[in-house]
Chain A
């Protein structure tokens, strides 16, 4: 009995030492960020590699985009991660903030239809399904865009997220763009008043619900769907092509008409090969880096890190964890944003 106590005491002591030890090794040169959970698997991998390559530790608290932006506004962090760009009002309430896109993702449509290997959907069909206007998979409107596919005569069960989510925002933002009716009656948001369907918590919840229910269809974050190898529908994009979501077709969505500050939703992209329900995720930092007694070294460390995130080493990692890399155009724009960082009005480098 005594021995057990001794072992327990040793373990406790070791556990108590752990945070101390990690604190000790973290020098003041480390970077701190907070924000979006969506790109977390990619960030974890990239930040880890960055530490190995340069010795600079990056701590990232994945507490949601909103929390990240608040932390940046309160100057608790060096940078924030966000799935949504700051709107004009938010931009006005803070000193100039640069948006650095790091990778892309999408909302893909997973389905459970026995015997159906390939499903094509148009924006109109998708909107009608989620408005509750289409009841059956055998509906002639669906058959019309799926020639040669034996659609079963079962009910359609749309599935959506019960928790507030950036994926829901991207999905509903897309529907608001392609359907006047959706824009009028439902709109875009992280949580919505859904006209039809059933709800489940998180990507795994939605995926599980679809797997359990014949006739179910639902939107899932691409990073989750790709790693789980779930059957996905082809979406008709703005150019009229039916496109399967893939890291290539998602990257293709961020081409063409992108504003200089990269603050843009890339849903319903005009690009021919683009998957239409795609989205960017950003790292946010202050353009003017001399605030709250920050040093030039800190500014340089942050700038180096941001350059590295959009560089070839980090971008090559995106596909490993099922995100889409930045297109060359996009990477060039991101680079220009980072180069615009200043310290006391002078360029950082």
Chain B
């Protein structure tokens, strides 16, 4: 009975995933048929004018990749120390529990709140620091994204760091290693694949984030040339234009959804591959 339930749940998830891929593929057929897969992917042209319609995803792909990877880089200096603090240095103390749960709380804040904070607080700061002409853009959205993904990266990393066997660490201490040396030579190598998994999860979150990014990136359809430049992402163009779209444009938006699906899948796959290799060593 229980076994049947488990099987049923797994099959259902698989079916759901398959149905999603099917509807994405069938919906995007018209766009790919019209432009060809690679031309659609690598063209930065997006012209909805009736009569000379021309759609390409490259501006959105670059916008998504720029903001997500920049957010990942920006979040490391915060999430890694938090993970070390709660998982190693102050392991199982009250302060670690408090900090850990506060950081986890960040994950529960609705993204519209992050967006509004960025809009009203961060944008004026970016302008006054001279980092961006109008306050909106790739850097602004990346900073907000970085804060949003810290809990995903840090709580998983902390979990794996705290799971490093004490025998290994004690062995290193007995050889005269300092705490930093233990972290560098024992904790990171042992917990490495787990920490990496945390960051892959965080990156996946950044790739799909819509609301906060839509409010902060400027929504201009161009390939961003600098960090202060405005751009657009795949998720936010879909959110913005899906409502009034029809025909070829609708199909192009669904095609962008399919591309986002593929990109997320590829990144997850690469992440798993790297983890496997590390474990194998």
Contacts and interface: CB of A to CB of B under 8 A. Distances in A.
Interface string A166-207: 000000000000000000001101111110011111000100
Contacts of A327: none
Contacts of A199: 218-220, 240
Contact of B214 (A162, A193, A198): A162
B186 interface: no
B244 A191 contact: yes
Interface of B: 46-51, 119-120, 123-124, 127, 133-136, 214-215, 218-221, 230, 236, 239-241, 243-246, 249
Contacts of B124: 212
12 contacts: A64-B243, A165-B244, A187-B51, A189-B49, A190-B48, A191-B48, A191-B241, A193-B46, A193-B48, A212-B119, A212-B124, A213-B127
Given A189-B48, A189-B49, A190-B244, A212 B133 contact: no
A76 B49 CA distance: 30
Given A189-B49, A191-B48, A193-B221, A213 B244 contact: no
Given A162-B240, A163-B241, A212-B123, A198 B219 contact: yes
Contacts of A197: 220
Given A187-B51, A192-B49, A212-B123, 18 more contacts: A64-B244, A66-B244, A66-B246, A162-B236, A164-B241, A165-B244, A187-B50, A189-B48, A190-B48, A192-B48, A193-B48, A194-B221, A201-B214, A201-B215, A201-B240, A212-B124, A213-B127, A213-B135
Interface residues of A, number: 27
Contacts of A186: 49
Contacts of B127: 213
B134 A193 contact: no
A208 interface: yes
Contacts of A213: 127, 134-135
A163 B124 CA distance: 24
Contacts of B120: 212
